[in-house]
Every structure is written in C-alpha cells, then in structure tokens.
Amino acid sequence: MQQELQQLWEDAEQELAQVAEPKALEIFRIKYLGKKGAVAGLFARMGGLSAEERPAFGQAVNDLRARLEEALALRKQAVAEQSESALPTGYDPSLPGYKPWFGRRHVLSSVLQEIVEIFRGMGFSVAEGPEVELDYFNFQALNFPDDHPSRDLQDTFYIEKDVLLRTHTSPVQIRYMEKHPPPVRIVVPGRVYRNEAIDASHAAEFHQVEGLYVDEGVTMGDLTVTLRHFAKEFFGSGTELRFRPHFFPFTEPSAEADMTCFACAGSGCRICGNTGWIEIMGAGMVHPNVFKSAGYDPEKVTGFAFGMGIERIAMLRHGIKDIRLFLENDLRFLSQF
C-alpha cells in the first residue's frame, strides 16, 4: 500500500515537472486532486479496509494530498513567473537560436547623412521646410514668372490654387532668409514631388539637398571650390567637376555641374554617353530678386545656391539602375547597403 502511494507521488511529481502552462496545471489538478481524481479514488477504497488499517491509510492519503497541493501551488507560481518573463511556452533552450534581425539605415538616409557631414565639415548647418508649400515660396519668391512651364499642372501637384507639394527644396532658401539675417550657410535635405511619368530614372517623389551660402563678397569661385571639395570627398579624390551654363529663375548666372564619369574616369563609356561627364546638380549665384523677396539687400550681400537629387547621387555612387527601387521596400535590395 505504502509503495503504491509512493509510486503515485513519484509519477505525479514527474508529471508536474513537465507542466508549463496554466491549462496543463488544471489538467494535473483534476487528474490528482479532482472529485474523481487519484486521491479521491484512494479515499474511496478506505471502506474496503479493516478497522486497524484504516487510520494509517487515511493519514498517508491525507499526507499525499497535502504534498500534492503544495507541489501544485509551487508549480503554479513558477509557471506564472515564467509567463511574466515572456518565455514562450514549450521553450527549449537547447535548440539552435534564431539569428536576430538587424534593421539598418535606408540607403538614401546613409547617402544623405554622408552628404550632410561633408557640408557640415565646411561650416554648413542643416535647415528644413514643409513639403506642403505655398506657391509663393515654391515659385513666386524664387523669381519664377507666372507662366513658367513648371507651374503647369502637368509638372506640379497642386492641393489648392496656391498650395502645392513642393517641387524642389529651394523654397527653404526664402523661408530661412526671412527668419535669419546674413551670413547664411545651410544645407536643406528633404522630399520633393513632381508630376512625372514614372520610369527607371523618374519618380514622382524623390529627395534633394539644397545648399545656400550668403555673405558679403561671395563669388562664383566660392561656389566651384565648395562643390569640387564635396565631389572629391563623396566620389573620390580623382573626381573633377565642370560647370555648364544653364538657366534657373532663382540664380544668375546658373550652371549645371557635371562630374567625371565614375565608370570610365572621363574617357567615355555607355554610362556617360561617351562624354566622360555625368550631370550631378544645379547651381548658381542667388538672383537679386530672390534676395529682395527674402528681405536681403542685393547691394550688400551675394551668395550661391545648389541643389542635387539624393536618389541620383545614390544611384551613381552604388550603381543602382532603377530609381523605383528606393521606394519599394524590398529587403533584398535594401539589405545590400
């Protein structure tokens, strides 16, 4: 008899050690301590025992019940603590682990950060402006004529008559100068929007970094030196820049900057269309009318501005062939950087 009780205890103990969740605890309780459980079954057998056997047996079963109850209570506590520490049930510490998934910076963010760091090193600080912009800042104050083609619905996303999604980061030039007296030395990263037919090299939303440097006596020479330094830092010390005359309403003179082709180092190849040069940004000397809109005196200060597309710079840097990849969030693409 004693042996039977001992066996039952050992079985129960072993079983309890496997129990790891509240449901299993309840199943265990019903099996051993429930109304039709093992302990109840033992008590039921008392009737068949002799008067001498009965007290000792009763005592032993009572003991067993007390031990089971205590063990169950302890286990309950342990299970509760375990679920608090959020260990998954059925956790097996001997299994090989999962490789943790590391997030990383988006390739555009790291390219942007590198660009900003280079200009920070030359004393520029970072400014920002809104993506939903007034026609005034995006066009008017930047000396765009009323009938300028980029004001067309085909190029610009309008929200209302005078409210639009900014088509470039240049409006921040005005916003910044309105609030800060010269000198100014800022770079302005941000998202811009154009109503483009989307293909491998055109997206309807992309990013730019604007630059603005205003002080007394700033010259075109300052512009070229600054941008050449940037190009060498970012693309490598062998990189040269050339400036082609261009037109922007808000700069005069205006230029487009080309850099020596990274693929052929200037000798001519398919990537640069055999010219040896690749266009990387627009730039120019701030137009006097822009200073006037912002409340600066063009007789006192001069300045230069530039704007580059971050996607374009990232594509050149990493040999990315399709601008749409930046927006698709495909981890096979993103995890390469």
Binding site for ligand PHE (CB under 6 A): 168, 170, 210, 248, 251, 282-284, 305-307
Please identify the residue of the shown chain whose CB is closest to the bound ligand PHE. 307
With respect to ligand PHE, which residue has the nearer C-beta, 143 or 170? 170
Min separation Cβ 304 and ligand PHE, Å: 8
What's the per-residue H, E or C state across 194-245? CCCCCECCECCEEEEEEEEEEECCCCHHHHHHHHHHHHHHHHCCCCCEEEEE
Min separation Cβ 232 and ligand PHE, Å: 20
Min separation Cβ 209 and ligand PHE, Å: 10
With respect to ligand PHE, which residue has the nearer C-beta, 12 or 305? 305
Min separation Cβ 278 and ligand PHE, Å: 16
With respect to ligand PHE, which residue has the nearer C-beta, 134 or 283? 283
With respect to ligand PHE, which residue has the nearer C-beta, 157 or 337? 157
Phi and psi dihedrals of 227, rounded to 5? -75, -30
The Cα–Cα gap between 320 and 310 comes to 12
C-beta of residue 19 within 8 angstroms of C-beta of residue 25: yes
With respect to ligand PHE, which residue has the nearer C-beta, 193 or 248? 248
The Cα–Cα gap between 89 and 78 comes to 13
Min separation Cβ 130 and ligand PHE, Å: 16
Q: How far is CA 308 from CA 112, 192, 259, in A?
A: 11, 11, 13
Min separation Cβ 306 and ligand PHE, Å: 5
With respect to ligand PHE, which residue has the nearer C-beta, 72 or 251? 251
The Cα–Cα gap between 13 and 67 comes to 10
Q: How far is CA 216 from CA 25, 181, 187, 297, 315, in A?
A: 81, 12, 19, 10, 36
